[in-house]
Amino acid sequence: MDWFNTPDEPPAVTNAPLLVSELSAIIAGLLDDPRLQDIRVRGEVTNYKHHGRGHRYFSLSEKGGGSTAAVIKCVMWRSDADRLVFTPAEGMEVVVSGSVVVYAPHGAYQMQVRAIEKAGLGEKYLLVEQWKKELSALGLFAAERKRPLPVFPARVGVVTSETGAVIHDIRNVIGRRFPVEIIISPTAVQGEEAHTEIAGAIRRLTGLVDVVIVARGGGSFEDLFPFNHPDVVKAIAACPVPVVSAIGHEVDVTLADLAADVRAPTPSAAAELVVPDRNILLLQLQELKVQTGSSLLGRIVRAKEDVTGLRDRLRPQRFLRILDERKTDVADIADRLERGLFTRLERERLLLDGMRTALAGRSPRALLARGYCVAERDGMVIRGVGAIAPGDRMKIQFYDGSSLVNVERVDHDGNI
């Protein structure tokens, strides 16, 4: 026998039955298909039950599918259900996220849900992002267009639902801090047409108030969706007075918050922002009164010192003493001036006499007194005999007078 070339024998066929656990394991293995893990399914909520331990049980069916619609059972454990921001209602269309698993005790498959969102929210998120880009391009979120709030507003406008806690909270805060007139412009704050009402409510306050609060309480993304609408954003940007937004909770940020001049985390915080605290103002006023009083008292003390100084300077005895001192000073100055003037006059007199003597010595009249005379013809002084001839008529100027003479003869030095 060829032990090495013996053809393979077909495996023995067995009809041994599977255990239930084995079948469940096979099914569970098949459900590990990636197409059934971490998926999102859209459908209509039916048979919703909130278990006492916090778990949620419901079914998901095709919306509008009638009695023939496909149905899948769902479970959401408490650890995930505690994060729900809304309560699913019968007939509500939702999108659930989770994986398909087999529930061995019941021998059935079901979807284990980790998150639930209302159908259409994904599209709304994308729409909000699109609006954000468009409105940002228009400059409606720019920091440079933010306006400061008035320090002492006379009237505060509030755009919110006229029912509910929001307006109550705002009234309480303003009434406690700094009572002013509150003008409510009521509006729906959620719903399909809420954005139109909110924008209109903002415009209604034009010319009536000094500052506007746009507010609503907390809510889901869908509840706050109207405050993302371009109509609301543009109404806030066009408002002629500063706008404070207080929409949802602090973690909720809407496009209206980005357009507002100031964003407050809550309606109560918004009310605190728009009016001052009169108690603080009273304390500041008291401090100013004390400072003013101290300043005035200091000025009065200094004024008294000035008056006392003036009184001392103006007392008769002191005044007379000062006057005597001034008289003595004046007399001394006059004496020095007189002495200086006399000395100067003596010097000038001596100088003048010397000049007079010098001038007298050089005077032509002094020469004439010594026996000399001056001969003139036709008003001109004759300096030599060359200027005259016999028969000329001359004037002879003596020391004490003059005479007219006729020239009979002219002798030159060479002829003598």
CB burial of residue 224 (10 Å; 0-12, 13-18, 19+): buried
- What interhelical angle do 165-177 and 267-274 show, nearest 10? 30
Nearest to 31 by CA among 97, 98, 102: 102
Q: In the predicted model, what is the mean pLDDT of residues 118-142?
A: 88
Band of residue 341 on the pLDDT scale cut at 50, 70, 90: confident
Q: In the predicted model, what is the mean pLDDT of residues 13-19?
A: 73
pLDDT, position 4: 39
Element of type H or E holding 73:
strand 71-76
pLDDT, position 349: 81
Cα(153)–Cα(156) distance, rounded to whole angstroms?
A: 7
Band of residue 375 on the pLDDT scale cut at 50, 70, 90: confident
Query: Does pLDDT of 107 surpass 70?
Result: yes
- What interhelical angle do 121-137 and 230-238 show, nearest 10? 30
Band of residue 266 on the pLDDT scale cut at 50, 70, 90: very high
Query: Does pLDDT of 5 surpass 60?
Result: no
Q: Where along the chain do the CATH 3.40.50.261 domains lie?
A: 123-276
CATH number of this structure's domain 123-276: 3.40.50.261
Q: In the predicted model, what is the mean pLDDT of residues 34-52?
A: 89
Q: Where along the chain do the CATH 2.40.50.140 domains lie?
A: 20-119
Give the CATH number of domain 20-119; options: 3.40.50.11540, 2.40.50.140, 3.30.70.360, 2.60.40.420: 2.40.50.140
Band of residue 68 on the pLDDT scale cut at 50, 70, 90: low
Band of residue 148 on the pLDDT scale cut at 50, 70, 90: very high
pLDDT, position 126: 83
pLDDT, position 416: 47
How far does CA 335 lie from the centroid of its chain?
74
H helices within 228-277, ranges in order? 230-238, 255-259, 267-274
pLDDT, position 361: 66
Query: Does pLDDT of 173 surpass 90?
Result: yes
Element of type H or E holding 47:
strand 39-50
pLDDT, position 271: 96
Give the CA count within 13 Å in the CB-facing half-sphere of 122: 10
pLDDT, position 3: 38
Q: In the predicted model, what is the mean pLDDT of residues 256-275?
A: 96
Residues 213 and 155: beta-carbon distance below 8 Å: no
User: In the chain, what's the furthest Cα-to-Cα distance?
Assistant: 208
Band of residue 64 on the pLDDT scale cut at 50, 70, 90: low
pLDDT, position 118: 81
- Residue 2 phi, psi (nearest 5): -90, 95
Torsion angle defined by CA atoms of residues 324, 330, 335 and 339, in that order, rounded to the nearest 10 degrees: 160
Band of residue 143 on the pLDDT scale cut at 50, 70, 90: very high
Cα(270)–Cα(247) distance, rounded to whole angstroms?
A: 10
Query: Does pLDDT of 138 surpass 90?
Result: yes
pLDDT, position 329: 83
End-to-end C-alpha distance for the chain, whole angstroms:
204
Number of helices (H) and strands (E) in the chain: give both, helices first.
12, 14
Query: Does pLDDT of 256 surpass 90?
Result: yes
Q: Residue 260, by phi and psi: left (phi above 0), alpha (psi -120 to 50) or beta?
A: beta
**Between 58 and 92, residue with greater pLDDT:** 58
**Between 208 and 17, residue with greater pLDDT:** 208
- The rounded radius of gyration (Å) of the Cα atoms in the chain is 62
Percent of the chain whose pLDDT exceeds 70? 90
pLDDT for 274-323, tens place per residue? Answer: 999 998 888 888 888 888 888 888 888 888 888 887 777 666 677 677 77
Tokens 């030159």 correspond to: 412
